[in-house]
Amino acid sequence: MGKLDGKVALVTGASRGIGQAIAELFASEGARVACTARTLEEGDHPSLTGSLQTTVANIEKAGGEAIAVACDVSDFDACERAVKEVRDRLGPLDVLVNNAALTYFVPIADFPISKWQRSCGVNINGPFYMSKLALADMLPRKSGAIVNISSGAAIGPGRGPYKDTPRRARGGTLYGAEKAALERFTQGLAAEVFDDGVSVTCVSPSQVVTTPGVLHHRLVKSADDPNAEPVSMMARAALRLATEPLNRITGRVTYSQEILVELGEIPEGKGIGFGRKGSGYSRM
């Protein structure tokens, strides 16, 4: 039996990278997976490979069940339509993974207003919209899990993974602020729905992950960078956060390798990137 047998999971940003890996792993663990993103078919994105149809095809080829639902998470009406379609085709949501993200590496002084609003729409409004809609299924049943995908950028230059970063960063101020907001949102929402049996957690890669987006922005030299973390590590961490008991993990803001070591999936001291303060709401 899989960890998610009989569950319905919705993964945003599932057309490539971390979202694709999460969707495929969840399906292999028995979930009926709704894959959402803006890129429905290969070639729809002007510069990145990957699509919802490819992710769904991979899942079906492996014997899993998945559907593709095109959705722009910055648009509440689009989110509402997408969640309704998922309910109609798969059933009410048991698990939500807020993975969709948009990154512009632009200094604040030069940031176009339209791009600023667009980025905030995807990275801040999107998780709120999807969580609000998912909770309509989870709260009445007193169960469910929301997993938010963050980034080491949330703690900023000079600390944690960025302690050696030069003062002149590459225009990541907005993205870092958005991810910091997502982490605070995680902790606040976890407190709000704790008594309703819904788990809310947040996880970041312990090291840079060689996704198509990371390669596009040249944050690593190549896809086989020895210092990079495989997307499978984030998928495994998301799976554990989505399936561990509420009292053990809700409210947790953590890193992929950190949580996998804690839960005994990988040996301590093997490939660990960096740690972060923050324990679950249930432990506060």
Sign (positive or negative) of CA dihedral 74, 67, 61, 4: positive
**Residue 223 carries which side chain, given as an amino acid letter?**
A
Q: Is 175 a catalytic residue?
A: yes
Q: Calculate the alpha carbon distances from 134 to 53, 87, 139 in Å.
A: 23, 10, 9
Q: Calculate the alpha carbon distances from 221 to 15, 172, 181, 216 in Å.
A: 23, 18, 29, 10
Give 30's Cβ-side CA count (13 Å radius): 9
Give me the catalytic one of 129, 162, 175, 255.
Answer: 175
Quick one: tokens of 190?
């976890």
> Which residues are identified as catalytic?
175
